């Protein structure tokens, strides 16, 4: 599964190490920073991370696309490459990261029944909009796997989400890649975020053994995803959803 090989902890550790080394090398009176305390959020939490992909993991289904999302079809033609078509899908996949006693990165494995002794705060994460560019628009030395915007929702796990889950949150990241060329103001993304709250509420008991605490909801977004969270918040409050954090 596409994912970053540099974890947030490794990145922060490298930054801290480089900063301490530079400080010591360039200033006689500067000392390297001490290591963080063991209870610092710099380190991961006590929970292992499990993964599921709605629509791929056995026993799960992608969420039907909300009817309020606008229908569209956009075709992009590129030299020496197949035409890329972006359109409103009939259903939307999402990555799900949830705490467990044993970690599991294989989304092809079923979610174990009754795996969790408690419910976790539910985080809905809206990733940024990355427009599709023709392959010849990228430098020739770039990793070809990074060109595909259709798997962007699967790329952020080890950078941030894994760390959040290790402290006891269940995180859901819907696929917004089909909106790569549209929805600049986040309206349709907001409908999708709100839709996933209701969808996960419906399947919480049967699919995830009640792992989501729907009374503790957090919306997190990056770039256009932030606008989507603001719009989803208004929609959820209007529908009687619980109080939530942005």
Give mean pLDDT, residues 136-164. 85
Q: How far apart are CA 151 and CA 177, in angstroms?
A: 7
Beta-strand (E) ranges in the chain? 48-54, 63-64, 73-78, 81-87, 91-92, 94-100, 120-126, 170-174, 212-221, 244-245
- DSSP H or E run through 190: helix 187-208
Residue 71 has pLDDT above 80, yes or no: yes
Q: Which residue has the higher pLDDT, 239 or 124?
A: 124
Q: How far apart are CA 142 and CA 34, in angstroms?
A: 37
Give mean pLDDT, residues 160-187. 90
Q: How far apart are CA 21 and CA 119, in angstroms?
A: 43
Q: Which tokens hold the place of 62? A: 């992608």
Model pLDDT, residue 17: 40
Residue 28 has pLDDT above 50, yes or no: no
Q: Which tokens hold the place of 4? A: 């970053």
Q: pLDDT-based confidence at 235, cuts 50/70/90?
A: very high
Q: Which residue has the higher pLDDT, 246 or 160?
A: 160
Model pLDDT, residue 103: 77
Q: pLDDT-based confidence at 33, cuts 50/70/90?
A: low
Model pLDDT, residue 243: 65
Which residue, 184, 1, 3, 196, is CA-closest to 94? Answer: 196
Model pLDDT, residue 31: 60
Q: What is the 3-state secondary structure (H, E, C) of 110-155?
A: CCCCCCCCCCEEEEEEECCCCCCCCHHHCCCCCCHHHCCHHHHHHC
Task: Give the position of tokens 């490298």.
Answer: 14
Residue 129 has pLDDT above 60, yes or no: yes
Q: pLDDT-based confidence at 159, cuts 50/70/90?
A: low
pTM to 2 decimals?
0.81
3-class DSSP state for residue 245? strand
Q: In this predicted model, what pLDDT tens digit does every residue of 132-149 receive, in sequence order?
A: 998 888 888 888 878 889
Q: Which residue has the higher pLDDT, 78 or 4?
A: 78
Q: pLDDT-based confidence at 18, cuts 50/70/90?
A: very low
Residue 52 has pLDDT above 80, yes or no: yes
The arrangement of strands across the sheet holding 244-245 comes to 48-54, 94-100, 170-174, 120-126, 212-221, 244-245
Domain ranges for the chain: 45-245
List % helix, strand, coil for the chain (3-state, nearest 5). 35, 25, 45
Q: What is the mean pLDDT of the chain?
A: 83
Q: pLDDT-based confidence at 217, cuts 50/70/90?
A: very high
Q: In this structure, what are the phi and psi dihedrals at residue 161, rounded to the nearest 5 degrees?
A: -65, -45
Q: pLDDT-based confidence at 244, cuts 50/70/90?
A: low
Core vs surface per residue 199-216: b (16+ CB within 10 A) or e: bbeeebeebbbebbbbeb
């Amino acid at each position: 599964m596409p994912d970053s090989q540099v974890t947030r902890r490794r990145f922060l550790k490298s930054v801290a190490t480089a900063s301490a080394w530079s400080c010591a090398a360039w200033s006689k009176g500067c000392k390297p920073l001490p290591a963080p305390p063991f209870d610092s959020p710099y380190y991961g939490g006590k929970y292992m991370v499990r993964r599921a992909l709605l629509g791929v993991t056995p026993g799960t289904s992608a969420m039907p696309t909300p009817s309020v999302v606008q229908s569209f079809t956009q075709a992009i033609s590129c030299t020496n490459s197949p035409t890329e078509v972006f359109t409103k899908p009939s259903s939307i996949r999402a990555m799900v990261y949830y705490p467990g006693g044993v970690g599991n990165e294989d989304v092809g494995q079923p979610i174990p029944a009754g795996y969790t002794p408690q419910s976790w705060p539910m985080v809905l994460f809206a990733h940024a909009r990355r427009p599709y560019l023709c392959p010849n628009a990228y430098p020739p030395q770039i990793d070809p796997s990074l060109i595909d915007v259709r798997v962007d929702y699967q790329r952020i796990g080890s950078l941030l989400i894994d760390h959040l889950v290790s402290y006891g949150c269940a995180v859901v990241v819907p696929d917004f890649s089909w909106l790569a060329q549209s929805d600049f103001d986040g309206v349709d993304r907001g409908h999708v975020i709100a839709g996933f709250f209701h969808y996960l509420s419906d399947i919480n008991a049967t699919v995830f053994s009640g792992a989501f605490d729907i009374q503790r909801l957090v919306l997190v977004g990056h770039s256009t995803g932030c606008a989507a969270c603001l719009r989803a918040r208004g929609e959820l409050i209007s529908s009687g959803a619980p109080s939530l954090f942005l």
